Structure 1
Amino acid sequence: MKVALYIRVSTEEQAQHGYSLAAQEERLRAYAMSQDWKIVKVYRDEGRSAKDLKRDQLQRMLTDLKVGLFEVILVYRLDRLTRSVLDLYELLKIFDQHDVKFKSATEVYDTTTAIGRLFITLVAALAQWERENLAERVKFGMLKKASLGEWMGGIIPYGYAFDGESFRVIKNEADIIKKIFKMGKTKGMEKIASILTKEGYRTKKGFNWSGFAVHYILRNPVYIGIFRYNDGSGKTYQSLEEQRTFKSDLIDPIVTEEEFWDMQKILDNRKHQYGKSLTGKYYFTSVLRCGKCGAYMTGTAYKYKEKNGEITKTKYYRCSNKVRTKGCTMPQIQERRLAEELIRVFDDLTKSWFSKPQAKQIVDLDESAKAAAKKLDKIRKAIDKYKLMFINDLIDIEELNNQLSVLKTQEENSTAELNKQSELKNATELSPQELENLIYHFKSVWDIAEDEERKQLITSIFSEIVIDAKVGSSYGPGTSKHFWLVSAK
């Protein structure tokens, strides 16, 4: 009879119980010889848990089984094959379908009878209970260590070295972390990764930086001396308030708590629908509104070939409503001209802000958010009403689609407005005095500021800028369009 040997060991079992691959194979070969069986293949899974069937050699064995390579599968013990009752049932089903028997060298099983199946199921259930009980004990022990501020093992965080007792800050890596936190205020994850890689920086393992690696650093509280332990529950990328965190004296902070928590607010704000506009290369995307339909203006760019053959790139803003539905007549506006016009009328836009009572100096974000939520609720009720009218044959499908097309656009704009108000509310607010100083120095700072700094200036001062232009201007970038600033908040 042709037999296949399956052997498996995890690192812990090999160290503690002597279930080495060599020892198992020796016992199985001796057993097969005693039964006068011919060994056709040996499948070895080293350092793999039996909690599931995702094991390379096990899957290869199941593939060979289906083509009739062997008639018997021989293991040292049942738990070498699986520790899950459900997985055992699945394997026995596959064995039966292909008329393959299953044997253990140290336990007596006969899978061809009902009592044999019951016995093997009971043994598998005990093996599963043992594994789950062990997992619970390990989790409890890890949680206890974490609560005491002790290191729970794993990958050493970037920026540190571990000597077995405490962490030591690696200066050059710590400098990169500080650089990442500084860039994170105005740049996205992929942009930061690209800059670090171009400047020759590498991760601890020598790889190029990725957006994932940058994001992980910006979200990791270890850089303010806090460990986290989430029981392997996949909560790492949820807000820190939803995770288990523990202060530790073993590790020195690299950034200040103020820097870290400010960064968490910034990252949380970017989760909203228009979060990309907060880190993009366009100055006005997070605040600019269309004066014709009220929708947000989005950035785009075109490349032109100059007379001398050089290629130049020019940035424009266009109404998002026009892009989606062609339902707006607002033309595209060049960013350079928009910035020039803002500077020209800047004093007129802002001079009245600080002549009002202090309570009115800054937009009442709570009231604005309430108004946006009320408007959104009204639109959604209207959508439900038209759907109900269609169901009751009060309107036809054409009228329903026409109404829903308009209402869906309004719903998107209102949702964007609500998200915007939420971003503004959660963002770090300037005091009236700080805002007044920023406005006073705006023109002089603008001239020497870089793109990211100019964007930060705009978003720090304005929550909304409304522009309008002549109707009938062509949609393409072409000639300059006549436009004007309607209002600003």
Structure 2
Amino acid sequence: MTQTKYAAIYARVSTTEQADEGYSIDEQIRVLREYCKREGYIIFDEYVDRGISGKSIKGRPAIRQLLQDADEKKFDLVLVWKMNRLARNSVDLMNMVEVFNRKNIVFRSYTENYETETPAGKLQFQMLAAIAEYERNNIAENVKMGMLARAKEGKWNGGHVLGYDVVEIEGANKKRKNTGLVINEREASIIRKIFHLYTTGNGYKSIANQINKAGYRTKLGKTFSLNAIKTIVTNPIYAGYIRYNVRRDWNEKRRNHINPKPIIVKGEHQSIISEEVWRIAQEVYKTRTCKPNRVHDGEFPLTGIMRCPKCNAGMVIGRTTNKLKDGTKKVLEYYVCGAWKNKGTVACNSYAVRTDYADPYVLNKIEELMISDKLIQQLVNSINYKQESLIAPIQREYKQYVHDLAILEKKQSNLLDAYMEETISKSVYQMKVRGIEEQISSLNELLTPLKGQLGSTVSSKVTFEQIKNVLQNFQKAFQQSLTREQRKRLLHLLIHQITIDEERKIESIQLKLNNEVLEALQLGVGESSSDESSAPFSVLIAI
């Protein structure tokens, strides 16, 4: 009997515009389908990334799914229209093909005549991959040089900015759309108000509060954050300048590679504020940012895991300064709603909780659990009950699939008997058995993860000694932590979240116990490292 061969078709287009226009991707898929039919392959699936760059595999859901399915050997051939559809980066391309080779999966490019099974074919493939990457890098460099030249001429390089509309303007270059900035008067009024408030003594928080309450919104229709206000008052575009290349190598370095000398030139667009207002704003900015008031989160271990009772945002640190009767000042520290601190009262209320109340309260509660055998036993019972409730539906589903699989295998056997007895023709046999094989394959795919789950959960229940050992190890690690940041990480590992009530008192502390916690505390579960004692589990419990 001829073995059924399965193929995976992969296609990609590089930009959203190309995706909208098709970029002949449907035609590519049609031709690849015909190839599969001609060569006797059944198409397992078609993986398509529309409007996504081929620079890397990050952010490409179809290619990630393709690689996952390849790792599970779900097909025998990966077929693309052209090699650079799979990847433009030669390292990524060769790594992917190596994954295919390890699983005995053939890789083919429809328009390029080479194979990867022989030394000569591998050499040709590597040369083509290097050429594809060179072309991409060359194009990227040319685009970068062109954008730098445009910026130096005072031209806008694209992107939306509050206060302006981006419009297409006529230019000598017919191949590239030229864009420019035109003032949007409705949005420009917001910009002028922000600069007026800033230059007359208001801080970021005060400005955000005022303009959000007045109903003003960002370009995307969202409320203004403190960072959005800061970005506006430090952006020279509003004074009529073009600033470009602030962050070099953005794709690789992100925020850690600020250019100290970006391009700043007079732009072709009209300014929203005067030079004088801009100068005053920058003087205010310099006086306020000589030494930023940086909060060291390691000192406050509950930031992020304590949640606001109104909006569920993470609580962050806030400070107030009180003047005592003797004239001295006392700084008070609170956990406050992160949304309120970032966007003001339009987003939420502060719900301030004193740190000198919250920190010892949480630590004492955890310590009570660690020394209370009764509480630990309740925790063990909760974990085991959850395990039992989770495994029952999995067992039912597994039994149903096994039953269905037995029926299909019986049908397959009956078909073979019928063919051998010549009661059905070869073509009818092949057609019917192919359908059954596909169903069997689908059932096996469904059974595989269920087998893994059942195999890992049929082990012995979590015991009192095991959980007590976990908590003792946490306590030991916490006491031996040398820095506040280490203690904070341990608390965030063990605590899922802390809720507070409307009275600004701690309502519940939800602990999470799972395999990640055990591994971080260097435990199997308990002292044993056998497979039986490392059953995966996950439970939340409020204390």
The normalised TM-score by structure 2 is 0.48
The aligned residue for residue 7 of structure 2 is 3
Quote how far apart the aligned CAs of 1:161 are. Answer: 2.4
Hey, what does 2:56 align to over in structure 1? 52
Give 3-state SS (helix, strand or coil) of 1:164's partner.
strand
Query: What residue is the counterpart of 2:143 in the other structure?
Result: 138
CA displacement at 1:213 relative to structure 2: 2.2
Aligned to 2:225: 210
Q: Deviation of residue 2 (structure 1)? A: 0.3
- Distance 1:298-1:283 versus aligned 2 partners, 3 A rule: closer
Once the two structures are superposed, what CA deviation does each residue of 1:134-155 show, in whole Å capped at 9, x if it has no partner? 0110011111111111111122
Q: Deviations over 1:259-293 (max 9, x none)?
A: 33224414532535489xxxx885789xx9x999x
Q: CA offset at residue 47 of structure 1?
A: 1.1
Task: Tell me if the contact between 2:248 and 2:257 (Cα under 8 Å) persists in the aligned partners.
Answer: no
- 1:170: how far off? 3.0
Other structure's SS at 1:133 match: helix
The offset of 1:69, in angstroms, is: 1.9
1:257 aligns with 2:278: yes
Q: Please give the secondary structure, in 2, of the residue aligned with 1:38.
A: strand
Q: 1:233 aligns with which of 249, 252, 256?
A: 249
1:352-385, CA deviations, whole angstroms, 9 ceiling, x for partnerless residues?
Answer: xxxxxxxxxxxxxxxxxxxxxxxxxxxxxxxxxx
**Which whole-Å deviations, capped at 9, do the CAs of 1:169-191 have from their partners, x for residues lacking one?**
33342232233234446555455
User: Residue deviations 1:358-414, cap 9 Å, x none?
Assistant: xxxxxxxxxxxxxxxxxxxxxxxxxxxxxxxxxxxxxxxxxxxxxxx9xxxxxxxxx
Q: What amino acid does structure 2 have at the position aligned with 1:209?
A: F
Secondary structure at the counterpart of residue 292 of structure 2? coil
Tell whether the 8 Å contact from 2:54 to 2:84 is kept in structure 1 after alignment. yes
2:12 and 2:334 map into 1 onto residues whose CA distance is 58
Query: Does the Cα contact within 8 Å between 2:156 and 2:181 map onto a contact in 1?
Result: no
| Contact kept in structure 1, 2:188 and 2:272, CA below 8 Å | no
Q: Find the partner of 2:33 among 29, 52, 57.
A: 29
CA shift, 1:216, in A, is 2.0
Aligned residue number for residue 477 of structure 1: none
3-state DSSP of counterpart to 1:153: coil
| 1:130–1:74 CA distance, 2 compared to 1 (3 A) | same
Pairwise CA distance, 1:108: 1.8
- State which of 220, 226, 233 in structure 1 corresponds to 2:235: 220
Cα deviation, 1:307-346, whole Å, max 9, x if unaligned, reads xxxxxx99x9x9xxxxxxxxxxxxxxxxxxxxxxxxxxxx
SS in structure 1 of the partner of residue 40 of structure 2: coil
240 and 67 in structure 1: CA distance in 2 versus 1, 3 angstrom threshold: closer
What SS does structure 2 have at the residue aligned with 1:42?
strand
> Contact (CA 8 Å) 1:224, 1:260: kept in 2 or not?
no
User: Counterpart amino acid of 1:298?
Assistant: V
Distance 1:237 1:194 in 2: 30
TM-superposed CA distance for 1:80, in Å, is 0.6
Q: Which has the higher contact order (CA 8 A, sep 6+)?
A: 1
1:261 maps to a residue whose letter is Q
Taking the TM superposition and a 5 Å limit, the aligned residue runs for 1:177-188 are 177-184=191-198
Structure 1 equivalent of residue 168 of structure 2: 164
> What is the alpha-carbon distance in structure 2 between the residues aligned to residue 140 and residue 80 of structure 1?
25
Q: CA deviation digits over 1:185-204, x for unaligned, max 9?
A: 65554554344323321112
Q: Distance in 2 between matches of 1:246 and 1:42?
A: 49
The Cα shift of 1:99 comes to 2.1
CA offset at residue 78 of structure 1? 0.4
**In the aligned structure 2, how far is the partner of 1:115 from the partner of 1:100?**
18
Alpha-carbon distance, 1:38 to partner:
1.0
Q: Is the 8 A contact 2:88 2:136 kept in 1?
A: yes
**In the aligned structure 1, how far is the partner of 2:148 from the partner of 2:55?**
22
> 1:245 maps to what in 2?
264
Aligned pair partner of 1:114 in 100, 110, 119:
119
Q: 1:102 pairs with 89, 100, 107, which one? A: 107
Task: Give the distance between the partners of 1:257 and 1:247, measured in 2 at CA.
Answer: 14
Q: Deviations over 1:190-226 (max 9, x none)?
A: 5543443233211122122223322221221101111
Which residue, out of 62, 70, 75, partners 1:70?
75
Alignment partners' CA distance in 1, 2:151 and 2:333? 49
Structure 2 residue matching 1:269: 3-state secondary structure:
coil
CA distance in 1, matches of 2:284, 2:126: 53
CA contact under 8 A between 1:236 and 1:243: conserved in structure 2?
Answer: no
Q: Contact 2:319/2:334 (CA < 8 Å) preserved in 1?
A: no
Using the size of structure 1 for normalisation, the TM-score is 0.53
Query: Which residue of the other structure, out of 7, 14, 20, is the alignment partner of 2:24?
Result: 20
Question: Once the 2 structures are TM-superposed, how far is the Cα of residue 66 of structure 1 from its aligned partner?
Answer: 2.1
Residue identity in the other structure for 1:177: I
Q: Is the 8 A contact 1:9 1:20 kept in 2?
A: no
- Deviations along 1:40-72, whole A, 9 cap, x unmatched? 110111111111011111001112222222111
Q: Paired residue for 2:98? A: 93
- Verify the 8 A CA contact 1:162 1:168 in the aligned structure 2: yes
> Structure 2 CA distance, aligned partners of 1:6 and 1:137?
29
RMSD: 4.0
| Amino acid across the alignment from 2:9 | L
1:132 is paired with a residue whose SS is helix
- In structure 2, C-alpha distance between the alignment counterparts of 1:128 and 1:240, rounded to whole Å: 27
- CA 1:301–1:140 in 2, change beyond 3 Å: closer, same or farther? closer
Does the CA-based 8 Å contact 1:167-1:252 persist in structure 2? no
**One-letter code of the match for 1:233?**
D
Unaligned runs of 5+ residues in structure 1 are 303-312, 319-404, 406-489
- Checking the alignment, whether the CA contact within 8 Å between 2:13 and 2:49 is kept in structure 1 is yes
Q: Match of 1:298?
A: 331
Change (3 A) 1:267 1:48: farther
SS in 1 for 2:289: helix
Contact 1:194-1:210 at 8 Å conserved across structures? no
1:153 corresponds to 2:153:
no
Cα distance 1:14–1:163, how it changes in 2: closer, same or farther (>3 A)?
A: closer
Q: Residue type of the partner of 1:170?
A: N
Query: Residue 38 of structure 1: which of 42, 50, 75 is its match?
Result: 42
Counterpart of 2:10 in structure 1: which amino acid?
A: Y
